[in-house]
Amino acid sequence: MNISKARTVAFDVLLRVAKQNAYADDVLRAELDGTVKTEDAGLATELALGVLRWQRLLDFVIDRNLSKPTGMADVEVRIALRMGVYQLRFLDRVPARAAVHESVELVKRARKRSAANLVNAILRKAAKETLPGISPADAVARLLPADLPLADRLGIQYSHPTWIVERWLRLYGEERTRSLLQANNRVPILSGYLLDPQRREDATQSLQRTGCRIQPGRLLRDAWVLEGGNPAASEAISQGWVAIQDEASQAVAHLLAPDPGNTVLDLCAAPGGKTLLLARAAGPEGRVIAADMHEHRVRAMQERFEHASIRNVETAVLNGAQPLPFERTFDRILVDVPCSGTGTFSRHPEIRWKLRAGDLRDLHERQARLLRNALPHLAPGGRLVYSTCSLEPEENEFVVREVLDALGDTFQIADPRGAIERCLQESVSVESVAGADGFFRTFPAEHGTDGFFAAVIERRKAKA
């Protein structure tokens, strides 16, 4: 039997994620380069990201049908089995025969022919265990030992590492943690915004021609939700009329709220989505510096800005963890730091398997250095926004309080409500995103966005 293009692409993506520590969306983008049919591209994406989201549950199903560990040391065999079980448990439209036989062929293609009979046997057993009308998560929950600790039970049922579930149970309690785990396993909403208002009609028609439906943003008034079709193939995207960006990420740029003519520093700018919003707000008289420590990412940003006809942005290669080279101050500074990404598990499911508890400590130290180096370059009366796409307090409020406590009363945490309230949909209360502690937060299960944190920090003006 020939193997479908969708399954070979998905297998190769998963193998690179496992062996090369690659990111699935980057590899998918490279593999689905326009030569793959739309339906194959859709199935390949579903398989690759679905397997990564549900990896622990899939392994539970595989291991309970495995009498001996023979051959399971090979990652290629494990990936083929995960793909097979995922299709059997999650994809109703895929015939069981195709799921089993093509997984066997994938093992042969990977030169692991000796494991073909094993894969065939395990998947045939798994096919007999499917329970119509019951979700895979609930079906697996029935098989777990009654005395299994709650974090392990939820970790298997909703496919997350136990240590992360334990953290979230302490932070959020069982009900909110369960809703977060469920949200992390849903296909993320595709959001964006109109970059060039004069192209609204052209952009709308272009997206609709690809079968895409444009809905209002769930969080922000100016955001679009793009449903169905193939927006990436539209002229609206290729010509830079519309930018794809999660609504919570857009909100962070709105929190900075540059005024026309402001000078703005975007310290960790790549890939440049927030920079586009900042440049538009600063206007032609404003000046934006978009910096990143990686030269290839800076080049990609520069090309993006040129493609979008953005003329008021200057790019720079610099390491923000070192003292900054600027002699001047800025009216606005965005410090959107590298982070664990625990707020983006739906969009980047492989992160949950790569992350380790010790990483949070290392990230905290780097994040504190970035914020500490940026603050001296904020003009009196200016505004800085520190942000992450993390749900972890070590990367969020702990960083802000540690750095500000060491600087006395020069800087203060400002109320984010004024900047964000005018951007929210009428159905969204400002209290749902701006906490009593003065910080901005979005929660995937409650807002339908990535999980973001932001602190608005102002520099006090010198007393006369």
Cβ-defined contacts of 38-46 (< 8 Å, 24+) = 38/230, 38/233, 39/6, 40/4, 40/5, 40/6, 40/9, 41/6, 41/9, 42/6, 43/4, 43/6, 43/7, 43/10, 44/5, 44/6, 44/7, 44/9, 44/10, 44/13, 45/10, 46/91
Strands 330-336 and 378-388: parallel
308 in helix, strand or coil?
coil
Indicate which residue of 268, 339, 389, 423 is catalytic: 389
Cβ atoms 224, 217 nearer than 8 A: yes
**How far is it, in rounded angstroms, from Cα 253 to Cα 173?**
31
Cβ-defined contacts of 291-295 (< 8 Å, 24+) = 291/265, 291/266, 291/267, 291/315, 291/316, 291/317, 291/318, 291/320, 292/268, 292/317, 292/318, 293/317, 293/318, 293/319, 293/320, 293/321, 294/270
Contacts of 242 (CB under 8 A, 6+ apart): 192, 193, 194, 195, 203, 207, 224, 231, 234, 236
389 is catalytic: yes
Distance of CA 229 to the CA centre of its chain: 21
How far the first Cα of the chain sits from its last, in Å, is 82
Catalytic residues: 389
